[in-house]
A = this chain, B = another copy of it.
Amino acid sequence: MRVFGEITGIPEGSEFENRYYLSQYGVHKPLQAGISGSQTEGADSIVLSGGYEDDEDYGDVIIYTGHGGRSQVTGLQVSDQQLSHQNLALALNCQQGIPVRVIRGYNHQSIFSPSEGYRYDGLYRIADYWRAQGLSDFFVWRFRLIKIDKLVDLVVVNEDQPIYGKPKRVETMVQRIIRDTALSSYVKKMYGFRCQVCRVEIRTNTGLYAEAAHIQPLGMPHNGPDILPNILCLCPNHHVMYDFGGFGIKDDFALIGIDGKLFRKAKHIIDCQYLQYHRKHFMISD
């Protein structure tokens, strides 16, 4: 049985001499694979051990490169990675809010690595994932892991009364974080809080609700700009679908993957380079 979250009796910072002990204690079961998981349940743990040239480790934030496409002989990337198997497992973590245990190995190139053996470094959530051209030019899947702040991110489920600041038994975690910028409000008002794909109006006790979606995402590594030509007004359903590559938008605003065409006000100029970026990095096939 796959155990998600913390392993009882193994606190963060625990050190292990080698992969055999990591496996025996249930922290990371496979002896070779970097990702432990299945594409129906999600991933329960990963080991950072210097296998992939593209990993980036900022401590509380890790850009992790998916599995596959490497030569078994040379270890070099020789073909595109697919969003399947262990990679799909990590993607499921992202969508379903499943935490993953992170273990750093001595051979991982990072100032955060232990000098010997392996160290369990706590739970991370998968904030997002995308397809990128790796250092070797082949497509890889990349996953952004963010360390879980126990107080803020986790829901504490207790038999007794839960008390703030004293998490006891951690069962659950965050999943999807919607970003908002100063311009978001402007775009939503421009469309009267109606989705540019399906025109739905979402009514709540605070009035109409919509989300502003950045076509090319903000922040590293996408660095999409927070400007009007890069923002859409979407309902939550189409926002989820767009972020997770469920549909794309052609340069003429026809939709790919679903029927229809993007509704657009004449004064809302959308820059095609952002639509292209999204198609390249978030759609499985263009």
Contact = CB atoms under 8 A, between A and B. Distances in A.
Contact of A240 (B88, B202, B245): B202
Contacts of A218: 155, 157, 172
Nearest to A98: B180
Interface residues of A, number: 69
Nearest to A245: B205
Given A164-B61, A180-B98, A181-B171, A83 B205 contact: yes
A59 interface: yes
A89 to B, nearest CB: 10
Number of copies: 2
A246 B205 CA distance: 5
Interface string A225-249: 0100000000111011100111000
A119 to B, nearest CB: 20
A272 interface: no
Given A96-B184, A182-B172, A146 B155 contact: no
Question: Which 3 residue pairs are nearest across A and B when measured between Cβ atoms?
Answer: A204-B244, A97-B180, A236-B236
